[in-house]
Amino acid sequence: MKCLFLDVINGGRPPGPPPLWMMRQAGRYLPEYREVRAKAGSFLGLCGNPELAAEVTLQPIRRFGFDAAIIFSDILTIPIALGHTVVFDEGPKLAPLASVAGLERDPEKWRPILAPVYEALRIAREGLDDDKALLGFAGAPWTLAVYLAGGGNDEQKAARLWAYRDPAGFQQLIALLTEAVAQHLIWQLDAGADAVQLFDSWAGGLPPELFARYVVKPGAAIVEKIRRVKPDAKIIGFPRGATMAGLESYAGTTGVDALSLDPSTDMTWAVQKLGVVLQGNLDPLALVAGGEALRTAVAEILSATQGKPFVFNLGHGILPPTPIEHVHELVKLVRGTV
Amino acid sequence: MKCLFLDVINGGRPPGPPPLWMMRQAGRYLPEYREVRAKAGSFLGLCGNPELAAEVTLQPIRRFGFDAAIIFSDILTIPIALGHTVVFDEGPKLAPLASVAGLERDPEKWRPILAPVYEALRIAREGLDDDKALLGFAGAPWTLAVYLAGGGNDEQKAARLWAYRDPAGFQQLIALLTEAVAQHLIWQLDAGADAVQLFDSWAGGLPPELFARYVVKPGAAIVEKIRRVKPDAKIIGFPRGATMAGLESYAGTTGVDALSLDPSTDMTWAVQKLGVVLQGNLDPLALVAGGEALRTAVAEILSATQGKPFVFNLGHGILPPTPIEHVHELVKLVRGTV
């Protein structure tokens, strides 16, 4: 069976509607997810249980028929694998890291901690038809550094301050994270992921020089490390909140196959300027709102990307209060079956 | 005496260093501010006391010799004048507004509540030499609507949702806020402000259509309303977090004299593309860090804006943990006396 998602990621322009999936599609807005989540006991318990993680990965495919499943996991699995303590309590809590010295540098020590992700990928791939793609993912080094330095809130203040005060020490952290992210993505591809997405969720608001040094450069290094062992690996980058110049630089220099765009990006501009496969960028709040706002927003994205290699997605993760009927409506709108 | 700040806002290109001030320069990083703040008892008590508000307005001019003073007040004075309850407790707390119906529409009722701002401007203007400019300011309608709808955190979710679900009702709120903001800025100019700045602090991350409708359009309407009664009014816009296309649109269509830029904006690009006087855009975290990071960042901004009509400022408000000696160092770096 042909896989529409992979056709498009390979640069194809199928005549029909674009492939469709949603960031955080396995999540709290789904009753069947909440049920499994309750059974797992905790968020990290769910991430660490391959059977249950695979199950919630497949739930949105069964319900909505999305073209891609993304493995249920968390970007903070890498800090955990590096030996850092992460607690989830209405969002992640990390003890602020002051130096890279305490982190584990040996990939063989990372692997057993990350193994449930690979096992979940194997189980999920078995449960998916060939026409559905399975995605792996990781947080990008800058975003992981933001969490490690003191949290993702409030303009990434602690990480920026560290980068300004101690550029050499901060670069050591970025370099270690770059290694770990590339390795984790390679292992996910080994385990059956058809493509991987690199989430730089805190890339927004950065001065251009910091964006170049800590977002674009590690992004390029990760792509290069992956392609050294997997020349055909399909990689989607998501430098959320990047400026338009930042997006052009990221698309032009990292080597990613596709770029996921946040809702602030004008899709018409992106189609003209970015020169890679595009993914995005419906405002998750338009999906919460539904109705005319949803119809208008979907129509604009479809019109701007008509005939281009494009994957329909949200511009950020689906929000827990999203009504399920709005997601069904979205599927119909994108597939023209409404 | 010539006023360097006003020369530049009028489009002049003085041969020497640019004029300099800092957003939130009257603030918690200053011991003399903390002393007056303690005397006032509360943040709103300080805003409502013209003598004390004028005093803290002048403090940073006395200490650093900045070229402009900005009146000590808060953008939430307008919601308060419209009859909405605002409580400050480690940041503002507002009861979420669901409809414009409960808000006061009569400017004569707003005026007595806003009067302490105008009195503070009169006192501050008397205390300033002619070579120093005095700035008034207001929050822009979108940013005020974000606070009124449910808080400025977390991507302005409640305001965006309201705008999607009930565009007509939300537009009524924006229209009322546009009236009130324009009126407040006119009254501040009457009271002695030499120029005014319009803070759209939550303009970032918006889909292009919402940015056009709720940031650019009200910005243009405010400029037009002010210029109808004060044709020579000097107006600085600050759509923080706008995309590059958003900045071009804002600069090209609102009629502002100057644009204040956040730290993510490439100043070389801005000088080439924006066609208005520029202000900004040092990362407040580079000022907290000091040292080499501060010297490099200041040198880059000065080099990009050399010979252009430019006001040196931060890209966002100064942060409370900023060491005062770093501000002294900044003044020397900008004025070339280091």
Domain ranges of chain A: 4-335
Question: Given a cut of 60, is residue B36 above it in pLDDT?
Answer: yes
Angle between helices B244-253 and A244-253 (to 10 degrees): 150
pLDDT-derived band at A28 (thresholds 50, 70, 90) equals: very high
Model pTM score: 0.96
A51, two tokens: 């059977």
Annotated catalytic residue, options B33, B118, B147, B214: B147
| The predicted structure's pLDDT at residue B155 | 62
Does the active-site annotation cover A7?
A: no
* Residue B335 and residue B43 in contact, taking contact as beta carbons nearer than 8 Å: no
pLDDT tens track for B264-275: 999 999 999 999
Q: Among A208, A266, A319, whose Cβ lies nearest the Cβ of B266?
A: A208
Residues of A in contact with B297 (CB under 8 A): 207
pLDDT tens track for B282-324: 999 999 999 999 999 999 999 999 999 999 999 999 999 999 9
Cα atoms found within 13 Å of the Cα of residue A159, Cβ hemisphere only: 28
Q: Among A160, A167, A285, whose Cβ lies nearest the Cβ of B161?
A: A285
Residue B130 contacts A, CB cutoff 8 Å? no
pLDDT tens track for B221-269: 999 999 999 999 999 999 999 999 999 999 999 999 999 999 999 999 9
CATH architecture of A4-335: Alpha-Beta Barrel (3.20)
| The predicted structure's pLDDT at residue A87 | 84
Question: Given a cut of 60, is residue B152 above it in pLDDT?
Answer: no
Test A263 with B207 for CB contact under 8 angstroms: yes
Residue A326 contacts B, CB cutoff 8 Å? no
CA distance B50 to B72: 9
Closest CA to A243 of A211, A196, A276, A290: A211
DSSP string, A189-206: HHTT-SEEEEEETT-TT-
Test B204 with A204 for CB contact under 8 angstroms: yes
Q: Among B207, B263, B288, whose Cβ lies nearest the Cβ of A207?
A: B263
Angle between helices B291-305 and A157-165 (to 10 degrees): 90
Interface test with B, best of A142, A146, A161, A296 (most B CBs within 10 A): A161
Question: Given a cut of 90, is residue A163 above it in pLDDT?
Answer: yes
Annotated catalytic residue, options A67, A74, A194, A262: A74
Helix (H, G, I), strand (E, B) or coil at B111: helix
Residue A263 contacts B, CB cutoff 8 Å? yes
Closest CA to A74 of A41, A115, A44: A44
Question: Given a cut of 60, is residue A26 above it in pLDDT?
Answer: yes
As a whole number of angstroms, the longest Cα–Cα distance in chain B is 56
B17, two tokens: 């260093």
Test B289 with A262 for CB contact under 8 angstroms: no
Share of chain A above pLDDT 70, in %: 98
Peptide bond into A281 cis (omega under 30): yes
pLDDT tens track for B39-86: 999 999 999 999 999 999 999 999 999 999 999 999 999 999 999 988
Q: What average pLDDT is seen over chain A? A: 95
* Residue B196 and residue B138 in contact, taking contact as beta carbons nearer than 8 Å: yes
Q: Among A206, A285, A289, whose Cβ lies nearest the Cβ of B264?
A: A206
Do β-strands A195-200 and B195-200 pair in parallel, antiparallel, or remain unpaired? unpaired
* Residue A242 and residue A250 in contact, taking contact as beta carbons nearer than 8 Å: yes
pLDDT tens track for A201-233: 999 999 999 999 999 999 999 999 999 999 999
B295, two tokens: 């010297």
